[in-house]
Amino acid sequence: MLSPQPITNELLNALLPSILEGEKLVDDIALRTIINNARKLPDVTQRYLVEGLANFVKGDIGVAVRLCELAISRSPNDRTAWSNYLISLMSWGLHEGAFELAQRGIKTNIPILLIQCIEVAALWAHKGLLNEITDHAYRLTEFMDLNPRMSQSLTKAKATMGKLNQMSPEASYELGEMAAAAREIADKERLQIVSSSIVDEAEGGYAFRVGIKTDDFQYLAKLDDMLFDLLISKGIKSRDCIAFFEPIEVED
């Protein structure tokens, strides 16, 4: 893929607020104009990428995923394509797809993308993935001028990895299974995840807490019931670990 041209950057910038928020913040006419202009881009990868992102905003998720997959398959080392695709999957609550993409993304050795992949691994307390890529990402980005958010992401991932490694193998495995079940619920419900954390509980136990943007406590109770039922159906149980969703206030 060529370096993004001014028109490509202009189109991406027009889509960016919607991509970050996971909601349609442009009107239909503007979105149609973006798609039409994307189809005129001379670089095929940029064409696929911008049109794919526009379809996320439009709500045509299947088309969006297909086009973004074409973009990264055509230019497998392109940071812009991978990064925007991963952000879009997360923003629109496609957490299983985002996790799978992160597993592929770690093989690219693109430093900034590795940090995004670490964020996904830490979000879902995936011990294996964190141990595989966190130290490697530190080495790749050691002399880079990272922005505060990315530095914070690396620090949080390192802390999550340390927490999981301090737990007994049985407890870290059980918590990881519970986190995967929570991810399945989050994907099914297309939840916008704000954060997650591993918290020490009384008598040596651990809680995996998933923070979402909501003040609907009835819906929270429904999510926790769904998670409990899923854990039972999968035969996942633990004496030491629990998992649940919790509300997180986000400042405007």
DSSP string, 27-63: -HHHHHHHHHHHTT-SSHHHHHHHHHHHHHHHT-HHH
The pLDDT of residue 3:
56
Does 31 share its domain with 75? yes
The pLDDT of residue 137:
78
The pLDDT of residue 140:
73
State whether residue 195 is helix, strand or coil: strand
Does 27 share its domain with 74? yes
pTM score > 0.85 for this model?
yes
Residue 252 lies in a domain: no
Range of the domain at 228: 169-247
The CATH number of residue 183's host domain is 3.30.300.70
The pLDDT tens digits along the chain (252 residues) read: 555 567 899 999 999 999 999 999 999 999 999 999 999 999 999 999 999 999 999 999 999 999 999 999 999 999 999 999 999 999 999 999 999 999 999 888 888 899 999 999 999 999 999 988 877 777 777 777 778 888 888 888 889 999 999 999 999 999 999 999 999 999 999 999 999 999 998 778 999 999 998 899 999 999 999 999 999 999 999 989 999 999 987 665
Residue 35 lies in a domain: yes
The CA-atom distances, in angstroms, between 205 and each of 96, 123, 172 are 27, 19, 11
The pLDDT of residue 251:
60
Is residue 52 within 8 A of residue 68, CB to CB? The reply is yes
Helix ranges (H only) for 190-244 are: 217-233
Q: Tally the domains of the chain.
A: 3
Residue 204 lies in a domain: yes
Does 160 share its domain with 220? no
